[in-house]
Structure 1
Amino acid sequence: MKHVLAKAKWLLCVALFFVGSAHLQAQTSSTAPAFEVVVLGDSGGIQDGNLSAFLLRSLTEPNYVALDAGTLVNGINQSIKQGAFSELTIKEDKKWGKAGTILRQHVKGYLLSHAHLDHVNGMLVASPEDSKKSIYALASVNTMIGETYFNGKAWANFSDRGIPPLLNKYHVVDLLPGTSTPIADTELSVTAFSLSHPVESSAFVIEHGDDIFVYFGDTGPDIVEKQGKLDAIWTYLAKQVKHKNLRGMIIETSFENERPHNLLFGHLTPALLMGELGRFAGKIGGEQPLKGLNVVISHIKYSLAKNVDPRAKITKQLNEANDLGVNIIIPQQGQKFQF
């Protein structure tokens, strides 16, 4: 009995070590990883300093693109503390330090899914000390960012478009839905798709050679939104996976299953996410075609309420509903993953 308890204790320690590790290789096969993701911000909602933002790069280069930028500098600092950039060759600029060097030299652009503040705040407040780079978004998203923030009132216009004076730090690039666009100063390309949300949101299919990674901004499910936007993405991806490697996706799950559909405000629950992934699997065909797919959960809403832990409940509901065999990953700020 003592031997069994000792072994169980050892296994628990090992599990806790990997959960807390800043560097996780999220793979289910012997295939070498192709992408690296650093979690700058994992949460949705009200906790400033930890809002939706990820860095992604191909492992063949040292340059990242930011997937949303709700939290930026604080996320980089937290990631440095956890060793997330330990494998990155950094020539630290004496003036800017390590965090400044990463932001200014290694983050080459922003893919912004939509204009809500919890997805762009980090970029806005970092802009005075950022370097020149491009903002990639659907046209409506870029227009809203210019009108709402880069207007000389809410914030100085650091872009090269819109209300003067233009500070010309950020080059604004309108993405055409369904059309591949190269991301400057990286080896990556991106194809954008529209998502259903109170303002237009976006999904980004990012490619490097034959490898694909997908990032979803905030999105409601098709059965609620009635616009078929996720169906269009699943159809596209189902065709792509026949000749390319889908390495993983980041997709939101903001609320628990108990949330009424009329109060989702363009977001997903565990049950709704699994329903959408099931429709994706159906388009691919075969038995468990998504088995082992890395699915990183973003935008879990933080709550100030006492004795409420949305992250724990959503994790439980996702695992209970996971009959597709996908690899569900609940990220934490500062972690690094390889896919």
Structure 2
Amino acid sequence: MNYNDLGNYIACKRSSFITIPLGTGGGLDESNLSAFLFTKRGSSVFIAFDAGTLWTGAQSFLRDTNYATYFNITFPPWATQIDQQVAWFIRNHVLGYVIGHPHMDHIQGMVQASPEDYLPSNALDMKIDNGLIGLLKDLLNPILGTSILTKKAIVGLPFTINSIQNHIFNNVLWPNLPGFGRYDYFTMIEGRGYNLTDVIFLNDTQRQSLVNTFPNNAQLTAYSTCHNDIQSTAFIYNDQITAEQVVFFSDTGIPSGNYNCDYQQKIYNVWKNVRIDKLKAIFLECSYPNNQSESQLFGHLRPKDIMPLLVSLLDLGVQPTPRMKSLSHVKLIVQHIKPLVNQTPSANKRLNIRQIIYKELTDYNPVGIQVNIPTQGEPICI
């Protein structure tokens, strides 16, 4: 979907949320790995769900100047080159990172951008009225602002946070930037709902500045899922004013091996907390086409695995009265499609992998969900 189209512009005016796919792929191409910025419509600050690619995705987004139709993003006068603008965008508009599991293709972008992921000491003196600076500058003393503004949150369940802390930012694989005050870790407890302001912002002054804007009035809940031999995560975002929900799954699916984790039951546990009539979107991986054998899935999904899961959502989710029989009001945002490097299914020799996945998802879609194959850098209105 091209967000420059008039029809999409009109749809966006009616939407509740916007996501920017900074990375949509499932490996090999390091310039396009799983990462989605997310915000409420009308806001210009974002949280990141996974962070496999940041820089290249932000480049793609900012090169199309029509982003100004949807977001209030301005740059310091010196930021005239695309790399300067990308760095500024990441520093000033990405509030924190909600990470579903610690595999490199889901954290690599955050790690590589981390040396530049901070606001300069004179940030509060700049004539910028949007992003993180715009939210905070009226309340903060410029002398104190440096230490307050430079920290961002890395958020996840214990397995994810411990892995990043011990094996990534450890002064061996990568400098311990959290130890130097660049980031703080927020470890969630499974099944507990957290105010997003408590998760992303780590001081009272910042929370007080966000009474009427994103990420205030939002709650985030994490549920463990299975990804082959490690733990992954699904996050439910709840708008506390409208009760609307968005579900984001990091990698999950059928294991290749005998591992003590029932991936379907874990997904069912998530579904039991979803309000069908309030659900706006599901971010879910579909790494392979239907011809991929189960022995070669390694904790991923195919279209023929996804549709039965969505049928189970209608059975297990919280239903209104009368019951809803379809998910036609919901967007399925398909992520983590792996490049097609082996033989193409004989029936689809003229199609690329994204087209194959889309065709297989739409050929059998008993719940009527809106299938969306995102394009890197192109916002999707939800």
Q: For residue 306 of structure 1, report the CA deviation from its aligned partner.
A: 7.5
Per the alignment, residue 223 of structure 2 pairs with 193
Q: For residue 282 of structure 1, report the CA deviation from its aligned partner.
A: 1.6
Question: How many angstroms apart in 2 are the aligned matches of 1:28 and 1:248?
Answer: 18
Question: How many angstroms apart in 2 are the aligned matches of 1:299 and 1:113?
Answer: 13
In the alignment, structure 1 residue 168 sits paired with structure 2 residue 216: no
In the alignment, structure 1 residue 53 sits paired with structure 2 residue 83: no
In the alignment, structure 1 residue 296 sits paired with structure 2 residue 333: yes
Q: For 1:215-254, list aligned pairs within 5 A.
A: 215-221=248-254, 226-227=262-263, 228-237=265-274, 240-241=275-276, 245-254=278-287
Question: How many angstroms apart in 2 are the aligned matches of 1:247 and 1:122?
Answer: 27
How many residue pairs were aligned?
A: 310
Question: How many angstroms apart in 2 are the aligned matches of 1:290 and 1:90?
Answer: 34
Question: How many angstroms apart in 1 are the aligned matches of 2:90 and 2:12?
Answer: 32
Q: For residue 220 of structure 1, report the CA deviation from its aligned partner.
A: 1.0
Change (3 A) 1:169 1:95: farther
Paired residue for 2:46, among 64, 76, 80? Answer: 64
Question: How many angstroms apart in 1 are the aligned matches of 2:340 and 2:16?
Answer: 35
Q: Deviation digits for residues 272-293 of structure 1, max 9, x if unmatched?
A: 0001001111224645231231
SS in structure 2 of the partner of residue 40 of structure 1: strand
Per the alignment, residue 174 of structure 2 pairs with 155
Per the alignment, residue 144 of structure 1 pairs with 163
Q: Given that residues 254 and 294 in structure 2 are in contact (C-alpha distance below 8 angstroms), is that contact kept between their aligned partners in structure 1? A: no
SS in structure 1 of the partner of residue 109 of structure 2: helix
Q: For residue 20 of structure 1, report the CA deviation from its aligned partner.
A: 4.1
Question: How many angstroms apart in 2 are the aligned matches of 1:143 and 1:255?
Answer: 29
Question: How many angstroms apart in 2 are the aligned matches of 1:148 and 1:85?
Answer: 36
Change (3 A) 1:52 1:325: same
Paired residue for 1:260, among 273, 276, 293? Answer: 293
SS in structure 2 of the partner of residue 56 of structure 1: strand
- Bigger mean CA deviation after superposition, 282-291 or 73-82: 282-291
> Please, what is the CA RMSD of the aligned residues?
2.5
Per the alignment, residue 281 of structure 1 pairs with 314
TM-score w.r.t. structure 2 length?
Answer: 0.75
Q: Given that residues 26 and 294 in structure 1 are in contact (C-alpha distance below 8 angstroms), is that contact kept between their aligned partners in structure 2? A: no
TM-score w.r.t. structure 1 length?
Answer: 0.84
Per the alignment, residue 114 of structure 1 pairs with 101
Q: For residue 214 of structure 1, report the CA deviation from its aligned partner.
A: 1.2
Question: How many angstroms apart in 1 are the aligned matches of 2:370 and 2:6?
Answer: 13
Q: Given that residues 328 and 370 in structure 2 are in contact (C-alpha distance below 8 angstroms), is that contact kept between their aligned partners in structure 1? A: yes
Q: Which letter does structure 2 place at the counterpart of 1:255?
A: Y
Question: How many angstroms apart in 2 are the aligned matches of 1:172 and 1:266?
Answer: 26
Q: Given that residues 44 and 51 in structure 1 are in contact (C-alpha distance below 8 angstroms), is that contact kept between their aligned partners in structure 2? A: yes
In the alignment, structure 1 residue 313 sits paired with structure 2 residue 344: no
Q: For residue 189 of structure 1, report the CA deviation from its aligned partner.
A: 2.6
Change (3 A) 1:140 1:158: same
- Bigger mean CA deviation after superposition, 131-140 or 87-96: 87-96
Question: How many angstroms apart in 1 are the aligned matches of 2:339 and 2:172?
Answer: 29
Q: Given that residues 22 and 82 in structure 1 are in contact (C-alpha distance below 8 angstroms), is that contact kept between their aligned partners in structure 2? A: no
Per the alignment, residue 105 of structure 1 pairs with 92
For structure 1, the residue ranges without an aligned partner over 5 or more in a row are 1-18, 160-165
Q: Given that residues 70 and 123 in structure 1 are in contact (C-alpha distance below 8 angstroms), is that contact kept between their aligned partners in structure 2? A: yes
Q: Which letter does structure 1 place at the counterpart of 2:378?
A: Q
- Bigger mean CA deviation after superposition, 177-186 or 99-108: 177-186
Q: Given that residues 276 and 324 in structure 2 are in contact (C-alpha distance below 8 angstroms), is that contact kept between their aligned partners in structure 1? A: no
Change (3 A) 1:230 1:77: same
Structure with the higher fraction of residues in strand conformation? 1
Q: Given that residues 40 and 333 in structure 1 are in contact (C-alpha distance below 8 angstroms), is that contact kept between their aligned partners in structure 2? A: yes
Q: Deviation digits for residues 32-89 of structure 1, max 9, x if unmatched?
A: 3111100101110111111101100012422100011100011101111234632211
Q: For residue 311 of structure 1, report the CA deviation from its aligned partner.
A: 1.7
Paired residue for 1:89, among 54, 72, 83? Answer: 72
Question: How many angstroms apart in 2 are the aligned matches of 1:24 and 1:66?
Answer: 27
Question: How many angstroms apart in 1 are the aligned matches of 2:362 and 2:97?
Answer: 32
Q: Deviation digits for residues 147-184 of structure 1, max 9, x if unmatched?
A: 2211111100112xxxxxx2121110001111112233
SS in structure 1 of the partner of residue 272 of structure 2: helix
Q: For residue 101 of structure 1, report the CA deviation from its aligned partner.
A: 2.3
For structure 2, the residue ranges without an aligned partner over 5 or more in a row are 119-150, 202-214
Identity of aligned residues (%): 28
- Bigger mean CA deviation after superposition, 320-329 or 91-100: 91-100
Per the alignment, residue 206 of structure 1 pairs with 237
Change (3 A) 1:22 1:230: farther
SS in structure 1 of the partner of residue 311 of structure 2: helix
Per the alignment, residue 62 of structure 2 pairs with 80
SS in structure 2 of the partner of residue 109 of structure 1: strand
Question: How many angstroms apart in 1 are the aligned matches of 2:14 and 2:335?
Answer: 24
Q: Which letter does structure 1 place at the counterpart of 2:267?
A: L
Change (3 A) 1:267 1:306: closer
Per the alignment, residue 162 of structure 1 pairs with none
